[in-house]
Amino acid sequence: MSTLANGEDGSLIERFADALWMERGLSRNTLQAYQSDLRKLGLWLEASGRPGLLGAKRADLLAFLADQSKNGLKPRSSARLLSCFRQFFQYCVRESLLQKDPSSRVDAPKLGRPLPHSLTESEVVALLDAPLVDDPEGFRDRVMLELLYATGLRVSELVKLQLGQISMNQGLVRIVGKGDKERLVPLGEEALDWLQRFLAGGRQALLGGQISGEVFPTRRGAGMTRQAFWYRIKKHALIAGIVKPLSPHTLRHAFATHLLDHGADLRVVQMLLGHTDLSTTQIYTHVARERLRNLHAKHHPRG
């Protein structure tokens, strides 16, 4: 009779989950995921004619992970499985159920840093053109999108923008970002033109006589929330026919990627984005290289 069928592994998994809940207060969903992963390993060991969980060897864990990978398991999911197994076998060692942890010499898969989703220049144009500018809210959205793409601001920085942070004469916006670090970012002629027109008319139409220091107010005179603007970005993306995954920072990613595409210095991009560490900015060089590879593969006769 199998160890899962006779309850040995099942009881052990339950005790492990209880210990995790007591020690770390993990959520029910997380505990259920851990239990599911361990049951999957136990069933695989059983189907392979190997002993139960307490009899698993390093080679068994490697063979299981390799089998899962062959069936389409992604490296990040494989790393999550291994983390679960390590915690389980360490628990078994602490409880004197095992002398050695078989997972201790199993290397975690290398996880490449995920590339941020960006937009092509034509997709950016389509997104910028999506809001209806004859409507005050659409006009405001268009200007906000223009500023995002022109400056690379974080959405949280954009929605909190105050009139006193903008110098129209110099064409600069002053941002106090993460860690209270201040940076000056140029607006660019196109965004500056849109902003001037909005401040001269569309903004007053939104406020209806109310007084507000917000650059981009709602009709109530308050600033827009990050979540509300993200909802509007998705709405305009749908109108623009953009079906690829978006994030609140999609235009920030596009800003950085397109600057590098057109020859900007990496340290200048770092300064404009407000990154403390250059390595954070370097992810965009990978995006640019990936785009070049895709273009080559698509258009070169031997790509």
Residue 253, exposed/middle/buried by CB under 10 A (0-12, 13-18, 19+)?
A: buried
Q: Active site residue: 142, 249, 253, 258, which one?
A: 249
Q: Active site residue: 140, 154, 203, 236, which one?
A: 154
Q: Active site residue: 142, 253, 258, 275, which one?
A: 275
Q: Active site residue: 140, 160, 236, 252, which one?
A: 252
Q: Active site residue: 24, 76, 113, 178, which one?
A: 178
Q: Active site residue: 34, 91, 149, 284, which one?
A: 284
Whether 178 sits among the annotated catalytic residues: the reply is: yes
Whether 183 sits among the annotated catalytic residues: the reply is: no
Residues annotated as catalytic (active site), given as ranges: 154, 178, 249, 252, 275, 284
